[in-house]
Structure 1
Amino acid sequence: MNVALEPTDRTRIRRGRNRAVPDRAALLALLADGLVAHLGVTVGDHPVVLPTAYAVDPGGPDEGGTLYVHGSVAATWLRSSEGATVCVTVTELDGLVAGRSAFHHSMNYRSAVVIGRARLVDDADEHRHALDLIVDHMIPGRAATLRPSSRKELAATAVLAVPLHEASMKARAGGPVDEPEDVVAGVWGGHLPVCRVVDDAVPASDNLPGLSVPADVAARTRWRTPPTARGPAPAASPSPG
């Protein structure tokens, strides 16, 4: 059963509401599909938005589940995020839309916005669990094949947790929504699907002789964003985009 996303004043979609996706399962599917998040936080007297690896635990300890990001304990942005309200976004580009006017050119996409108070993960078990999730988000099953992280490595790596309680999602799919007079003018319109493909693995130059690509890595190659995750077709609208 799908659970609806409950908007708050900070996550309620006001512009392009026809593209809102109110389904929490669709949000979790997008977060599982994406690879890079952008975290926005105020550092000193200015905002900073940084790309970061991430992972999601839908059953995590925070309300609505938990989104984890990690970084160096010495990172200024990470120290500034602790206890602060942050904004995390994840976007997947699914296509380029060629309208019959500049006004109606657009992109097909799935985009999530998560707003919440970040907490520093200080529980040792949750800390290790979060780091394993981040590794497995990149290459599923990889964490179990690796040696345990050393105390020094764990001490050097901080993990932030952001609750998934306040989140919103928008999506666009399909072709352009053009003015009737532009259609009959005979200009071509359409869209160019875009997908992400993971190519064949490239071995490290210092691999020991005889090592083959492990199953978890091989399973990730030639992987592509699933077409079924590209969201609903756009509703007819005179608005741009």
Structure 2
Amino acid sequence: MGSYRAELLRLFKWPATWVLIGVWLVMTLTFGYVFNYVAFKSGDEAENGRSGAQLLAQMMPEMSAEAVLRGLPMFGGAIVIVLAALAVGSGYGWGTWKTTLTAGPRRLSAMGGTLAALASIVLLLVAATFVADFGASVLVATLEDQSWSFPSIGHLAEGLGASVLIAGMWAAMGVVLGVLTRGPALAVGLGLLWAVVVENLLRGVGALLGPVEDLTKVLPGGAAGNLAGAFGATGAPGVLTELSGTTASLLVAGYLSVFAVIACWTTMRRDLV
């Protein structure tokens, strides 16, 4: 608990945390509401052929949980990876990990505190995203004189739970990259490369090679995209509908667990020099 409180205090006082959360909120509002609303008012169809009525329905408050999920498989995931990779990798560059682990708690306690603190930040990010998306959807409904209702508690819990699971998986990947590379720059670069570039390239190759296409479905981004798609959060890059919700959930939870175990095991077994 001491490690958790210390790490949480550091992350809350760290400007990078709030800058990245702010960037994500601007992105989700811009791509989820501003552009769609402009397209709706101008009478233009979206790139995937959605009509004006479909665009408006997607921006209603009842769809707020889907709106939170929609961006997390790719762009939201990239933001979370950057945050986690910076949080862990910077400690090696600053020398704080060496000081903490030689004079402070045991290594497992220190890394466990870091993972728990990042989990709290993930919960905060998902909650802030829902509040922002719900506020934007209420504004759209008011401007267009549409009747609306609050999402049901069960539906909201499932959607936000899936969002936390996806964001947590990406955060765990960022932690692993920060631990393995012992620095923020390479960890951030590798995380962004994987989340935004590598899996998309593999999906392109998968159109020609069946085995590669099957592989992309079970990679971290593919599992996250299928979980979002199973919940109905379609219409965004990285969202897929090739696996069931149960299968995708198990894959995402499995990746999260494996990344966390690797991060803890590596921290315990490896020399810090």
User: Higher helix proportion, which one?
Assistant: 2
TM-score w.r.t. length of structure 1:
0.24
- TM-score of the aligned structures, taking structure 2 as reference length: 0.22
